[in-house]
Structure formats: structure tokens, C-alpha cells
Amino acid sequence: MKVVVVGGGVIGLSVAWRLAPAHDVTLVDPAPARGASWVAGGMLAPVTEAWPGEEDLLDLGTESLDRWPAFAAELGLELYTKGTIAAAVDGADAGQLDVLAEFLAARGRAVDRLGGRELRRVEPAIGPGVRSGLLVPGDLALDNRELLRRLDFPGVVRASARAVRPGAVELDGSTLGCDVVVIAAGAWSGALHPALASAVRPVKGEILRLRRRPNALPPPVHTVRGLVESRPVYLVPRAGDELVVGATQYEAGFDDEVTVGGVRDLLMYAERVVPGIAEYGLTECAAGLRAGSRDNLPLVGWLEPGVLVATGHHRNGLLLAPITADAVRAIVAGDPSSIPAADPARLTRRTTSS
């Protein structure tokens, strides 16, 4: 089949890569391998992202996490396997981690609860202000920019799609004909099809990259997810003594400018959890737009015959890339219910019938 994938972030690139062996695939994007995927933190962390009420997301994330080692091996990509530490600063933060631990235990995923001193024995970078935490060995992490380089797709048309309809993608002044269109334009997907107009929205996130300087303390070995007076912050180690610190979360439309307040908050909270970062260099501040959906689950499936959607991955697009790419391949091959929880009909039915 002739397939056009609109959007070349991690989702569009993974889908194109999975479909390419069996289909004639074109990818359309004015700036591929950028978007939220370039900005992201790189955690593959369904367990520490989990929260009561989001059971489907936990199950989907866990299933995709299980596929990551094989997916990464196919791409020759290294995964960080040291796991995650969730760290609580005050009593209320510790209470939130208790809720998470109980929720996980009830789902058969017991995690180790540790006091502050035990946490520092496991992860010496954690500061004395942290009172307790959880050790979550199964979570993974990766370098998202290296992932995008490895997913690099040769058949890219550098253009912006104006609209999508069955059998055609409209560009400025030309039309690409095809059998199947896959809308994978992240936060911008809502503009491409009427069924998506109110189903997907941009959710802004700011993130920092730090680098250890000579004589500064070493970065953490684990991914550290802190709760500081109820404000979440995470620190993800990278090769070369780099540390990614994220992330703010705002509903701010398509504003993607980094703010002073966002950078200040991230540094303030991160330093409470890992004090050694005060001696690090600040090498990058960036903002990206996550594709939010109303129930935080992605939309993967048919919008109408010939038009597929794969978006709405919100905070978990890297994590969910393997399961999304496999699902799109299966759907194109005729399996309509590869990820039932992600069926777009749940969010688009009302819009399309009104």
C-alpha cells in the first residue's frame, strides 16, 4: 500500500520505520526529528508515572516497556537500565509516594520503600533534605536525540500538510495521493482533521540540560523523580556527565518560549533533591508541546476509512513508541482492535457526529 505519514516526531518516525518493509511509505514534515520528541527527558517510566485512575495507561505503558529492549536492539540503541528512584522531601510528598506504592502493590507491582539514609546509600547524589523514597528497578531511560538519529527516515518530504482526507494529503500547492494517511503530527494534529479538533491539545513543558564541571559532585546513576512540596521534578542521567532536568507542565496554547519562572522552579526543586547540581553548567533550556488528550491515553486507530491517527501520547510518547508502531502496522494489515484502550472513537465520536 501507499502510505503517507504526516509528522516526523518519534511517533511518525517509528510508524514509518515499522511500515517501510511492507509498504511504500512517504513521511511529510517541515522539520522532522524535532517537536516534543527532541525536547523530551528520555524516561521510559510507566511505573513512576502511574496514578490511581490511570490503570489503562499503566498497563499500556508496561506493555510498551516490555517491547523496548527488542526495539532498541533493532536500532542499535543503548538503554539505561539502572532504574528509577522516587524521592519525597516533606511529609505530604512522602504521603503521595505511599499512595503510589499502595496503588502499585494492588496491581501486583511491589516496589521497595526506603528511608532517606537508605536512599542515599543506594544513590549518593541524593541530598539530606530527602526524607524517604521508592526504588523502582524496572523503569528504563534513553537518549531521545540518539533515538531520533537512529530512526532517521530517507523518504521525507519537507513540507507542512494543510489538510488530510481519504486518499490525499494536501500540501501548499500540491497533493500527495495514497491508500492510507497516518496523522502523527503531535500537538498540531488537531488542525489536520475535524475529528481531532477538540480531542488533542498542546501541553507545554520546559526542560533543562546540565553538565557536570570539573570538581563538581558526580550526577546520580539512577533516574531520580523528586516530589518537592508537591511539585514534581526529575533528573535523568546521560552519557558524558550530562543531566536532563524536567519538566514544567502548563496549558498555554502553542506558546513554546522558555520562561524565567520555569527555569527557576526546575533548578530550585532539582537542587533540593540533588544538591550537587549547583556546581554544574547550564547548557540548554528548551520547551516542547506534548499532545494531550482528554483522558491522557493516546489515540491510535481509524478516524475514517483511509485515515489513521497515532497521537495524543502526552507525557509518554517515547515510552509508547514501540507499541504504537506495532499497532499501526497491525491496523494497516487489517486488525482493527490492536490497542482497544487507545481507540480514537472514544474521544472523536461526539465531534464527528455533531
Ligand X SMILES: Cc1cc2nc3c(=O)[nH]c(=O)nc-3n(C[C@H](O)[C@H](O)[C@H](O)COP(=O)(O)OP(=O)(O)OC[C@H]3O[C@@H](n4cnc5c(N)ncnc54)[C@H](O)[C@@H]3O)c2cc1C
Is residue 315 at the binding interface for ligand X, with CB under 6 A as the rule? yes
Identify the residue among 19, 28, 178, 200 touching ligand X (CB under 6 A): 28
Is residue 61 at the binding interface for ligand X, with CB under 6 A as the rule? no
Identify the residue among 19, 43, 86, 97 touching ligand X (CB under 6 A): 43
Question: In this structure, how many other beta carbons lie within 10 angstroms of the beta carbon of residue 316?
Answer: 22
Is residue 205 at the binding interface for ligand X, with CB under 6 A as the rule? yes
Identify the residue among 3, 5, 18, 35 touching ligand X (CB under 6 A): 35
Identify the residue among 32, 116, 190, 292 touching ligand X (CB under 6 A): 32
User: How many residues form the binding site for ligand X (CB under 6 A)?
Assistant: 43
Is residue 292 at the binding interface for ligand X, with CB under 6 A as the rule? no
Is residue 222 at the binding interface for ligand X, with CB under 6 A as the rule? no
Is residue 344 at the binding interface for ligand X, with CB under 6 A as the rule? no
**Interface residues for ligand X in 179-198 (CB under 6 A)?**
184-188
Identify the residue among 3, 39, 89, 119 touching ligand X (CB under 6 A): 39
Is residue 11 at the binding interface for ligand X, with CB under 6 A as the rule? yes
Stretch that binds ligand X, among 4-12, 16-24, 252-260, 300-308 (CB under 6 A): 4-12
Q: Of 313 and 329, which has the nearer Cβ to ligand X?
A: 313
Is residue 201 at the binding interface for ligand X, with CB under 6 A as the rule? no
All 3 cell numbers of residue 287? 520547551
Is residue 41 at the binding interface for ligand X, with CB under 6 A as the rule? yes
Q: Of 144 and 338, which has the nearer Cβ to ligand X?
A: 144
* Residue 215 to residue 167: CA distance in whole angstroms: 60
* Residue 45 to residue 55: CA distance in whole angstroms: 14
Stretch that binds ligand X, among 72-80, 107-115, 250-258, 317-325 (CB under 6 A): 317-325
Find the shortest distance in angstroms from Cβ 131 to ligand X.
25
Stretch that binds ligand X, among 3-11, 254-262, 268-276, 301-309 (CB under 6 A): 3-11
Find the shortest distance in angstroms from Cβ 206 to ligand X.
6
Identify the residue among 26, 64, 296, 316 touching ligand X (CB under 6 A): 316
Three-state SS annotation for the chain: CEEEEECCCHHHHHHHHHHCCCCEEEEECCCCCCHHHHHCCCEECHHHHCCCCCHHHHHHHHHHHHHHHHHHHHHCCCCECCCEEEEECCHHHHHHHHHHHHHHHHCCCCCEEEEHHHHHHHCCCCCCCCCEEEEECCCEECCHHHHHHHCCCCCEECCCCCEEECCEEEECCEEEECCEEEECCHHHHHHCCHHHCCCEEEEEEEEEEEECCCCCCCCCCCEEEEEECCEEEEEEEECCCEEEEECCCECCCCCCCCCHHHHHHHHHHHHHHCHHHHHCEEEEEEEEEEEEECCCCCEEEEEECCEEEEECCHHHCCCCHHHHHHHHHHHHCCCCCCCHHHCCHHHHHHHHHC
Residues that bind ligand X (CB under 6 A): 6-12, 28-32, 34-37, 39-43, 160-161, 184-188, 205, 207, 246-247, 288, 290-291, 311, 313-319
